[in-house]
Amino acid sequence: MKITLSVIKADIGSIGGHLRPSKALMETVNKHLEDKSGSLVLDYRISNTGDDIAILFSHREGIGSSAIHELAWDAFINGTAKAREEGLYGAGQDLLKDSFSGNIKGLGPAIAELEFEERQNEPFILFAADKTDPGAYNLPLYLGFADPMHCSGLILSPKMSKGFKFVIMDVEYTEKDRYIELNAPEDLYDIAALLRDNERFVVSAIYSRETGEQAVAASTTRLHNIAGKYIGKDDPVMLIRVQGAFPAAGEVLSPYSIGHYVAGFMRGSHTGPLMPVKTGSGISFFDGPPVVTATAFCVQNGKFTEAVDCFDHPYWDYIRRKVARKATELRRQGFSGAAMLPYSELEYGGIVEKMEALDKKFRT
């Protein structure tokens, strides 16, 4: 019998700015789930990455279940009340609509869901990132699933020699889901051509071409497309099943050693390197740097094992130092050129009025 993993995350308030939710807020969300999950949910876990709270569920309700989505929505609504009571900053920030309407998609929180028949052993990793957007996963997914420089299994494992199918979403198209399916390795250059543009094209799913099974589900929400104005970056979540016909845990983690530059950082308006951090880490330097956490589990009959925090290992201390150096170097040039995002990405902020006012003062 199939199970579904759903991860639903939102920023509903944090301490000291957009830094980290309070313990009481986390407890409130947890308590709601403890009280209300009942028989609907097989298991759940909550965690925070920067100012965002992610709820991971396993259940048998399938993808897009309104009961599951509503449970998460209500937990965030309850949390928001606590955040207001405590005077947390940005209480309810990501809950963009007043009421729940059947599906959490389009209401603000980010969501990724995977439905599958459990393998005999079912290891998977929950990724969550803060101060960046869904395109942040493009490069690590390309390298982890299509490049033998990181995914040695593409050469070494007969179960992976057929490669993977990428589903790539055009997130600028907001009327419907507009997506393309491309196969690695044949379409590698086309995949790269699209994934080059992290702000427009985003990997939403990846499938094994050996078994047809889905390995990856990633969130593709762009909040400004919902709100019509800038209200924070989209802080994406992602689920990846690993091992066997899928890349090993270490292969999908390997690309995070690059600390590649992504969009986000201060006011969601800058470029910064993505720093792999321990789950529960807050935000600091220049409202960043953009961070990503990776929490690994096995799931059996819908029950989660304890979590392993993948970036809580001495190796990643070395990477964090490198990434901190990259962040510092780019920050030295402040607003100039590559350090700040192009105008198209800033257009939901105050800069629009500023540019309009300046435009009137130009003379020819």
Active-site positions read 11, 230, 233
Please tell me whether residue 233 binds ligand F6R under the rule CB under 6 A: yes
Q: State the residue for tokens 């599906």.
A: 103
Distance CA 259, CA 261 (A): 7
Q: Is the peptide bond before 289 cis (omega within 30 degrees of 0)?
A: yes
Q: Is the peptide bond before 185 cis (omega within 30 degrees of 0)?
A: yes
DSSP state for residue 336 in the 8-state scheme: S
Q: Which residue is nearest to ligand F6R (CB)?
A: 287
Residues 171-210, mask of contacts with ligand F6R (x by CB under 6 A):
----------------------------------------
To the nearest 10°, report the CA torsion of 287, 311, 198, 224.
-50
- 155: tokens are 């050469």
- The amino acid at residue 279 is T
User: Binders of Mg ion among 35-54, rule CB under 5 A?
Assistant: 51-52
Which stretch in 24-32, 141-149, 264-272, 274-282 sits in contact with ligand F6R by CB under 6 A? Answer: 264-272
Residue closer to ligand F6R by CB (options 255, 272) is 272
In this chain, which of 77, 227, 266, 352 binds ligand F6R, going by CB under 6 A?
266
Report how far apart, in Å, the C-alpha atoms of 175 and of each of 44, 224, 342, 364 are: 32, 14, 24, 40
Residues 219-258, mask of contacts with Mg ion (x by CB under 5 A):
-------------x--x-----------------------
Please tell me whether residue 131 binds ligand F6R under the rule CB under 6 A: yes
**Residue 334 touches which of ligand F6R, Mg ion, none (CB < 5 to 8 A by kind)?**
none
Please tell me whether residue 17 binds ligand F6R under the rule CB under 6 A: yes
Distance CA 325, CA 334 (A): 15
In this chain, which of 5, 8, 18, 327 binds ligand F6R, going by CB under 6 A?
18
**Residue 94 touches which of Mg ion, ligand F6R, none (CB < 5 to 8 A by kind)?**
none
Distance CA 36, CA 57 (A): 13
Please tell me whether residue 130 binds Mg ion under the rule CB under 5 A: yes
Residue closer to ligand F6R by CB (options 82, 131) is 131
Q: Under DSSP, is residue 195 helix (H, G, I), strand (E, B) or coil?
A: helix
Instruction: Evaluate whether 168 touches 204 at the Cβ level (below 8 Å).
Output: yes
Q: List residues near Mg ion by CB under 5 A.
A: 11, 18, 51-52, 130, 232, 235
